[in-house]
Amino acid sequence: PLPFDAERVRADFPILNQEVNGHPLVYLDNAATTQKPRAVIQALVDYYEQDNSNVHRGAHALADRATQKFEAARVKVAAFINAPEARQVIWTRGTTESINLVASSWGRANLQAGDRVLVSAMEHHSNIVPWQLIAAEKGASVEPIPVDADGTLDMAALESMLDERVRLVACGHVSNALGTVNPVADIVRLAHAAGALVLIDGAQAVSHWPVDVQALDCDFYVFSAHKLFGPTGLGVLYGKRALLEAMPPYQGGGEMIETVSFAGTTFNQLPYKFEAGTPDIAGVIAFGAAIDYLNQLDRVGAAAHEQALLTYAEERARATPGIRLVGTSAHKTSVMSFLLEGAHPNDVGMLLDQQGVAVRTGNHCAQPIMEQFGIPGTVRASLAFYNTRADVDRLFEALEKVRQFLI
């Protein structure tokens, strides 16, 4: 691929070229969702203009074409995360549904009274609540792995918490609220040594650098297409094959069955066992286009660009009086969470928006860690590879105006 060039790449994302409230848009809300390259938008249009049909069941040309492209996308995603087999990639509605699937299916079959599930104290609600729901049903417990004041996971605490009652550790690869990169390979090693499985929430990781699920040796890895330059409403559950084979179905319906009778129903093989009903065919095919797009980028260069941009943004933040960074772990990516002293995060966000700068404010669906830090939330600027130093400069110019206005 050509050496990474953020300016050239920006041109692939039509949405970035617009004015908001009279100012050129600066999009710094990539942890909420990333923008889509033209190739992804075109794939959606092409699908509906040329191929729209239901998959796996039609005996006609359009259905064959749709099925072939739908399954080709699965193969692309499997290769993208280095899954051994495409059937280990299950389509879901998103990270949230992927976690709910594992909690419901694996959890219902495996958790017993007195069992423990460990989650990091910085988890997104979607990697806490599904475990609480199944734990309540089973008499199991969900316990937080402590996080230091700078947002680093306490690995010594994890080690001391692990015992034979811990059945699963569920941890984010990257924290959406703080940007902390967790040592997931180490977590997997420790958990496996204690006989526990590991689910990694990769929602905030996959867009930043190549992920290799076999190298990590994780049991489950989940993420959302929309945070990886693909469409909304689509996600991935990767699982080790033996685990997926042993897990009961999540939802019942068409496509997930082998035979149905009132005497008893048998279930389809992987991955279809977990894909009841008509899937998001257009979304899957367009997600395949997103993977193709990423594969032709210099991703090593893109990651280096993003990391340099985060370093630059944090240097500017440290040099700006009144800004307090929240989450200053030594291992971070892409997310700069902060407070402007004397101003509520929501007011800061609104005043930034008036200047064309899009950030997110609030607790970022991570209330426990905000509570631990004793803050109602933060202002979060989150980067993607199409962001530039000019975007970061615009953020700080706008913040200076906010400061003059509010303080």
Residues labelled as active-site residues:
365
In the complex, minimum distance from the CB of residue 342 to ligand PMP, in angstroms, rounded to a whole number:
28
In the complex, minimum distance from the CB of residue 264 to ligand PMP, in angstroms, rounded to a whole number:
34
> Minimal CA–CA distance to 162: which of 134, 186, 179, 180?
186
Q: Which sign does the torsion angle of CA 145, 380, 328, 218 carry?
A: positive
Which window, 90-98, 100-108, 148-156, 312-320, contacts ligand PMP (CB under 6 A)?
90-98
Contact indicator for 367, 304 with CB cutoff of 8 Å? no
Contact mark string toward ligand PMP, 3..32, x via CB under 6 A: ----------------------------x-
Which window, 201-209, 276-284, 301-309, 337-345, contacts ligand PMP (CB under 6 A)?
201-209
Long-range contacts (CB closer than 8 Å, 24 or more residues apart) made by 193-196: 193/162, 194/162, 194/163, 194/164, 194/166, 195/164, 195/166, 196/118, 196/162, 196/166, 196/167, 196/168, 196/169
Single residue of 94, 230, 349, 377 touching ligand PMP by CB under 6 A: 94
In three-state secondary structure terms, 379 is strand
Q: Which CB sits closer to ligand PMP, 112 or 346? A: 346
Q: Which amino acid is at 148?
A: D
- Measure Cα distances from 71 to 12, 76, 91, 271, 272 in Å: 26, 9, 11, 11, 11
* Residues of this chain, 232-291, that bind ligand PMP according to CB under 6 A: none
State the number of binding residues for ligand PMP (CB under 6 A). Answer: 14
> Minimal CA–CA distance to 216: which of 184, 238, 241?
184
15: which DSSP letter? Answer: G
Q: Which residues contact 17 (CB under 8 A, 6 or more apart)?
A: 25
In the complex, minimum distance from the CB of residue 32 to ligand PMP, in angstroms, rounded to a whole number:
6
In the complex, minimum distance from the CB of residue 302 to ligand PMP, in angstroms, rounded to a whole number:
19
Q: Which amino acid is at 214?
A: Q
Single residue of 30, 34, 53, 126 touching ligand PMP by CB under 6 A: 126
Q: Which CB sits closer to ligand PMP, 78 or 236? A: 236
Q: Which CB sits closer to ligand PMP, 67 or 176? A: 176
CA dihedral 83→84→87→91, nearest 10 degrees, is: 0
Q: Which CB sits closer to ligand PMP, 190 or 234? A: 234
Which window, 109-117, 196-204, 246-254, 313-321, contacts ligand PMP (CB under 6 A)?
196-204
Q: Which CB sits closer to ligand PMP, 124 or 240? A: 124
In three-state secondary structure terms, 326 is strand
Contact indicator for 235, 225 with CB cutoff of 8 Å? yes
In the complex, minimum distance from the CB of residue 291 to ligand PMP, in angstroms, rounded to a whole number:
17
Single residue of 95, 104, 329, 333 touching ligand PMP by CB under 6 A: 95
In the complex, minimum distance from the CB of residue 406 to ligand PMP, in angstroms, rounded to a whole number:
27
Q: Which CB sits closer to ligand PMP, 34 or 387? A: 34
User: DSSP assignment of 241-299, as one string?
Assistant: HHHHHHSPPSS-STTSEEE--TT--EEPPTTGGG--S---HHHHHHHHHHHHHHHTS-H
User: Does 361 contact ligand PMP by CB under 6 A?
Assistant: no
User: Does 92 contact ligand PMP by CB under 6 A?
Assistant: no
* Main-chain dihedrals φ then ψ at residue 222, nearest 5 degrees: -130, 145
Rounded to the nearest 10 degrees, the angle between the axes of helix 299-318 and helix 389-406 is: 30
User: Does 328 contact ligand PMP by CB under 6 A?
Assistant: no
Which window, 76-84, 200-208, 267-275, 303-311, contacts ligand PMP (CB under 6 A)?
200-208
Contacts with ligand PMP, residue ranges (CB under 6 A)? 31, 94-96, 124, 126-127, 172, 176, 201, 203-204, 224, 365
